Structure 1
Amino acid sequence: MIQLLTPTHWKDYELIDCGDFEKLERFGNLILSRPEPQAVWKKVLTEQEWKKRAHIHFKGRSATTGDWIKFAKNAPDRWNINYKNNDISINLRLGLTSFKHVGVFPEQAVNWDYISSCVKKFKCEQPKVLNLFAYTGAASLVARAAGADTTHVDSIKQVVTWANENRELSDLKDIRWVVEDALKFVKRELKRGKKYNGIILDPPAFGHGPNGEKWKLEDHIQEMMQDVVQLLDPEEHFLILNTYSLGFSSVIVENLIKTSFPQVRNLETGELFLQATSGVKLPLGVFGKFNTFK
């Protein structure tokens, strides 16, 4: 069954409005306006309301980079927010980057809830969780806070360092940090005979490994999926695949999972979105996930 999922209980995040290829968001007490290519409709709130509310605005210099313009005095370049559900609580350091990102993808909170719930349900003493394309590590922190032995893999050293800062802020210990191309890491783990109870995949549409390896989602995702499912513990496991590519649908994700792992159980697919308080919905990727629980 195809589902539409959005975070509903995150006090430190709010999508206020989106449209005209922009979004207006609150992270903690700070309100940002920045580009959003998915928001092809008109804004619900007026331009005056946007300008009145925004503390900081991102202005692009090119298709990929830009500058932050501060409207509020003493608006910080870095600040912290908290995320918690019934099982865990983590802290995240956010920052203004030249690529319009701030260090977290809020729609992923739905997957964080799924991760913490699955880890708590495992019967083994310390489940092992692998987070691939792990960015600044929110999912890794959630898995660790829920009690998992967690391995975090990303090809960019700077974001792994950022993830470690988030670990320290969250007062967590013993996450394994790996700076490596995700596909190479998976193949090496297969040779070692390693198994994981949980695997999280959040691949970009395009990317590069630390040694210049090229990643293109449609070219490499099938190989990645066929390798990754072999790392799953046969008795107790979960897997999440999340994609942002505009050309991918939940049906494509369903086919990828079923052809790579025909014995899949409890498969859910759908679309992640953020519900704006102005009333509109912002789609932000498709997902597939499954586990061994009834």
Structure 2
Amino acid sequence: MIQLLTPTHWKDYELIDCGDFEKLERFGNVILIRPEPQAVWSKALSPAEWQKLHHIKFKGRSATSGEWIKKNPATPDRWHIEYKNPEAAIKFRLALTSFKHLGIFPEQAVNWDYITQNIKRFKTPEPKVLNLFAYTGGASLIARAAGADTTHVDSIKQVVTWANENQELSGLTDIRWVVEDALKFVKRELKRGKKYNGIILDPPAYGHGPNGEKWKLEDNINEMMGDVMQLLDPEEHFLILNTYSLGFSSVIIENLIKSAYPQVQNLETGELYLQATAGSKLPLGVFGKFYKAK
């Protein structure tokens, strides 16, 4: 069955409104306007309300970069927010980057809860978790906070450094940091005979490894899935695959997983979205996830 999932208990984040290719969001006490290509409908709130509410707005110079315009110059460029579920709490440093991102994808909180639930249900002491395409580490942090032996892999050194800052901010230690092309790392782990109880993948549509390796989702994801399934501990495991690509549906995700792992149990597929306070649902990716417990 295809599910629609959205975070429901995050005090430090709120999608206030979205539409006309923009979104109005609150991160802690800071309210921002950012571009959003999925928001093709009209805004629920008036332009005057958006203007009154926001502190900072992103103005694009090109399709990939731009600048932040502050109403008050004293508004910080960096600040912290927290995420809590019943089992774990983590913190993030947010920053205004030139490519409109802040260092966090709020819709992933649904997956963070799934990670926590599975680590807590496993009988394996300190289960091993691998986070691929791991960015600034939300999934890595929550896995470590829930008690997992965690490995974090991303091809960009700067975001791995950022993730390490988030680890320190969260009061955590001992996440293993790896700056490498994700597919190369997985193949090396296979040769070493490694096994993981949890694997998280949130691959981009396009990307590059540290040595110029090229990643294109539709060309490489099937090979990647075939390899990561061999890394799963056969007795106790979970896997999450999340994609943000306008051409991918949850049916494609279901087919990928079943093709690579025919014996899959407890498979769920669907769409992640953020529920705007003003009413709209903002779709932000499709997912497939499954687990097996003793």
Q: Deviations over 1:21-69 (max 9, x none)?
A: 0000000000000000000000000111001001000000000000000
In 1, the alpha carbon distance for the partners of 2:163 and 2:140 equals 9
Match of 1:266 in 2: 266
Deviation at 1:293, TM superposition (A): 3.7
In 1, the alpha carbon distance for the partners of 2:279 and 2:184 equals 43
In 2, the alpha carbon distance for the partners of 1:280 and 1:72 equals 29
In 2, the alpha carbon distance for the partners of 1:139 and 1:125 equals 19
Q: What's the C-alpha RMSD, in Å, of the aligned pairs?
A: 0.7
In 2, the alpha carbon distance for the partners of 1:85 and 1:73 equals 34
Match of 1:155 in 2: 155
Unaligned runs of 5+ residues in structure 1 are: none
CA contact (8 A) 1:266 1:293 kept: no
In 2, the alpha carbon distance for the partners of 1:106 and 1:72 equals 25
- TM superposition score normalised by structure 2: 0.99
Match of 1:141 in 2: 141
In 1, the alpha carbon distance for the partners of 2:147 and 2:67 equals 39
Matched, 1:164 2:150: no
Deviation at 1:74, TM superposition (A): 1.2
In 1, the alpha carbon distance for the partners of 2:71 and 2:261 equals 51
- TM superposition score normalised by structure 1: 0.99
Work out the percentage of aligned pairs sharing the same amino acid: 80
Superposed, 1:1-294 pairs within 5 Å as 1-293=1-293
Letter in 2 for 1:18: C
Deviation at 1:73, TM superposition (A): 4.0
In 2, the alpha carbon distance for the partners of 1:293 and 1:113 equals 16
In 2, the alpha carbon distance for the partners of 1:104 and 1:152 equals 15
Runs of 4 or more, structure 1, over 6 Å off, are none
Q: What is the total number of aligned residue pairs between the two structures?
A: 294
CA contact (8 A) 2:235 2:293 kept: no
SS of the equivalent of 1:245 reads coil
Q: Deviations over 1:226-272 (max 9, x none)?
A: 00000000000000000001000000000000000000000000000
Letter in 1 for 2:135: Y
Letter in 2 for 1:282: L
SS of the equivalent of 2:49 reads helix
Deviation at 1:177, TM superposition (A): 0.0
In 2, the alpha carbon distance for the partners of 1:29 and 1:64 equals 26
Deviation at 1:275, TM superposition (A): 0.1
Q: Deviations over 1:51-104 (max 9, x none)?
A: 100100000000000000001341110000000000000010000000000000
